Structure 1
Amino acid sequence: MNNFFGVSFTHNFMSIRLGRIQLHRIDFLLLFVPLSLACYLLKLPAIVSFTSAAAAVVAISHLMVEATGIISQRVSSTISALINATFGNAIEFMIAIFALRAGLETMVKASITGSIILNVLFLIGLSMVAGGMKYKEQRFNKDSAGLSSTMLIIIVVGLAMPSMYSILVGKPAQDMSIAVSVILGVIYLLSLFYTLVTHKHLFIVKREAPPSGSYRPWPFRVAVAILLISAIAAGFESSLIVDSITPLIDTLGITQTFAGLVLIALLTNIPEQISAARFARLNNMTLSLEIGMSSALQIALFVVPVLVLLSSTLTGSTMDLVLSPFELISLVMTAMIANYISADGICHWLEGAQLLAVYALIATAFFFI
C-alpha cells in the first residue's frame, strides 16, 4: 500500500463530484461493507461471502492509501516512516493474524511468499507493460532498484535458513525463526536510518510524494479519522475473509498454499498494482519499481518478524519460517530476476510481459501442487 522508505502514493482514480463531496468510482465498493456483513449473517455460500468482503477490502485499502498520503505530507519523514510501517500492509497483517488464530499457518506463510513474488514479478511486470504501451523504452533509477534487490537477496537467505535447517537436521525451527525474525527486523530499522538520516540526500528527489492536489481535500484531522476508521473496518473485513476462506478452499478444491500465494496476495495488493501502473503511464518507472519492491520488502522485514514474535501469544506456539521447496525456489528465482532487472536502468513492455509470464508459471505450478 505504501512506500517502504516512508512515502505514500495515491492512485488518482476516476472521480465523481456530488455537490461538495468528491467520490472516486472505487468508493462505491464501500457498499460491500454492510453487504459482506449481511452475507455472513445470512450464511450465504462461501464464494459470495468472500467476494463481497474482498470488494470491501479494495475500497477500504484505497481510503487508507489516501489518508496515509495526506498525513505523510504534513509530518516529518520519521513519523511518516512510522505511519507507513504501521498501516502500509495493515490488511495483509490483519488477515494473517486472523488466519493464525484459525489454524491456517500454511496459508499465512504462503501469503507472505505470494506477496513478495507478486510485488516483484506481477506488479512490476504489469507496470512495464502499461508504460511500454505508451513509451518505447523507460528509464529508472538503477541505484535505488539495486539497493532494494540486494535487500531482497538478504530476505531470501534469511527465509531459507529455517527451511534448510528443518530439512537437513530434521528438528523444529521455531527458535531459529525467532532469531531470523529479529535480524530481519534490525536490518529493516537500519535501512530506515540509512534513507531517513545518514543518506537522505540521495532519496529526496526520487521519493518526493505527489503534490497535495493529487489527493482529495481532506483536512489533517479528517484524514486521521478516516485512517483509524478504515483500519477498524479492515479488521472486520479481514475476519470475514478468513471465516469464508476455509469453506471456499473446500468448494474450489484448492490448497491453503494456493489460496495464500495467489488469492490472498492478489487481493491485498490491488492498490499497489493500480498505483504502480499509473506511475508507469506517467513515465515514472522509478516510482513504479519502488512501489513493488518496497511493498515486498516491508512484508518480509516488518510483517514477518511481527507475526513470528506474536504467534506464540495468538496460537500458543511460535510460527516457524519453514517453507516448502517450491516456495523457496520461487523466492530464489524472484530475487535473481529482481537483481537482473535493476542492472541497466532501462525497461520495455516485452520485459514486463516476461515477468508476468514467470508469475503465471509459478501460480500455475502451485495450482497443481
Structure 2
Amino acid sequence: MIAAGYGKVLATMAPAVGLVGVAAALHFTEAGPIVNFIASALALASVAHVIGEATDHLGNHLSPAATGIVQSAVGNLPELFVCIFALRAGLLTVVQASLIGSILSNALLVLGLAFVAGGWKLGVLHFESQTPRMIATLLLLAVSALVLPTLAQELHLPSGAHEQELAVVCAVVLLFVFVVLTHAMLSQGQRALPAETHARVHAWSLGAAIGVLAACGAAAAFVSDWFVDALGPAIETLGVSEAFSGLV
C-alpha cells in the first residue's frame, strides 16, 4: 500500500521532472532564446501543476481554513519567484503587467469559469455573504495599494515626491492585513466539511505532500531564474512589448 502510494506520487512528479531536466539542459547549453523560453515556460507550468496537486493532498491533513491559506500562499510560488527574478533583471514593466494580469485572470477569468462550471453542474449557486464581502474588500484594498502611488505621482500631489516610500507603506499594509487575516482564519476556523467529502481514499501522506512541496519550491526557484533569463531575449526576438508579455 505504501509503495503504491509513493508510486502515484512519483507518477505525478515524472512529467515535471522530465520538463525541468529538458529546460536545464537547454539553459546550460545556451540554446536559442525562443527554445529556452518555451522549455522554461512548460517546466514552470508543470511544476505549478505538481504544487497544486501536493497542496490539494496536503489539505486532507489540515483544517479547511488552513488548507485555504496554504493554497493561496504556496500555490503562487512560481509566480512569486518569476517576479523576484524579473525585478532583479530590471524587468519592472513585466512585473507590473504580470500583477495586473494575475488580478484580472483570477477576478474575471477564473471566477467566471467557476460560476459557469458550478452553475452547469449544480444549478443555482448559493454563497454565504461574509466570505464574498471579505474577498471583495481585500481585492479593493489590493487594487488601491497598486493605484495610490501612481495617482500621487500622476496628479502631482505633495506625496508624489515620495512615491517609493508610499509604495513601501502600501506593501507593508498589505502584508500586515495578510498576517492578521491568516491568524483570524486559523483561530476561528471555518465550518468543517463533512468527513466523507473532505477525505480522499488515495490521499498522499503528510510527509509525501510536504516533501513534494519542498522539492517543487526549489525547482520553481531554479526554473523561474531560467525563465526570466530567456524572457528578455525572447521579447526582443518576437518583437513584443514587456507590458504585453507580462500581461499574458
Q: So what's the TM-score if we normalise by structure 1?
A: 0.57
Kindly indicate which of the two structures has a greater share of residues assigned to helix: 2
Shift of 1:208: 8.8
Partner of 1:31: 18
Shift of 1:259: 1.2
Shift of 1:24: 6.0
Judge conservation of contact 1:73–1:209 (CA < 8 Å) in 2. Answer: no
What amino acid is the match of 1:117? Answer: L
CA change 1:210–1:171 in 2 (3 A) is farther
Judge conservation of contact 1:70–1:212 (CA < 8 Å) in 2. Answer: no
Name the CA distance, whole Å, in 2 between partners of 1:69 and 1:134. 21
Confirm or deny that 1:53 pairs with 2:44: no
Name the CA distance, whole Å, in 1 between partners of 2:242 and 2:132. 32
Name the CA distance, whole Å, in 1 between partners of 2:193 and 2:136. 17
Partner of 1:184: 174
CA change 1:256–1:210 in 2 (3 A) is farther
Shift of 1:63: 2.2
Judge conservation of contact 1:107–1:256 (CA < 8 Å) in 2. Answer: yes
Choose which of 174, 178, 193 in structure 1 pairs with 2:164: 174
Counterpart of 2:155 in 1: which secondary structure? helix
CA change 1:123–1:82 in 2 (3 A) is closer
1:195-274 equivalent positions in 2, closer than 5 A: 195-197=185-187, 199-200=188-189, 203-205=190-192, 211-213=198-200, 216-262=202-248
What residue ranges of structure 1 are gaps of 5+ in the alignment?
1-17, 263-369
What amino acid is the match of 1:143? Answer: Q
Deviations 1:253-310 (A, max 9, x none): 2211111121xxxxxxxxxxxxxxxxxxxxxxxxxxxxxxxxxxxxxxxxxxxxxxxx
Shift of 1:127: 2.1
Name the CA distance, whole Å, in 1 between partners of 2:11 and 2:142. 37
Confirm or deny that 1:94 pairs with 2:84: no
**Alignment length (residue pairs):** 242
Judge conservation of contact 1:68–1:227 (CA < 8 Å) in 2. Answer: yes
Alignment RMSD (CA, Å): 3.2
Name the CA distance, whole Å, in 2 between partners of 1:115 and 1:106. 14
Q: So what's the TM-score if we normalise by structure 2?
A: 0.82
Name the CA distance, whole Å, in 2 between partners of 1:131 and 1:28. 30
Of structures 1 and 2, the one with the larger relative CO (CA 8 A, separation 6+) is 2
CA change 1:25–1:181 in 2 (3 A) is closer
Q: Which moved more, 1:20-29 or 1:61-70?
A: 20-29
Shift of 1:84: 4.8
Percent identity for Structure 1 against Structure 2 = 29
CA change 1:20–1:244 in 2 (3 A) is closer
Choose which of 187, 194, 198 in structure 1 pairs with 2:184: 194
Shift of 1:68: 2.9
What residue ranges of structure 2 are gaps of 5+ in the alignment?
none
Judge conservation of contact 1:98–1:239 (CA < 8 Å) in 2. Answer: yes
Name the CA distance, whole Å, in 2 between partners of 1:158 and 1:113. 12
Judge conservation of contact 2:97–2:243 (CA < 8 Å) in 1. Answer: yes
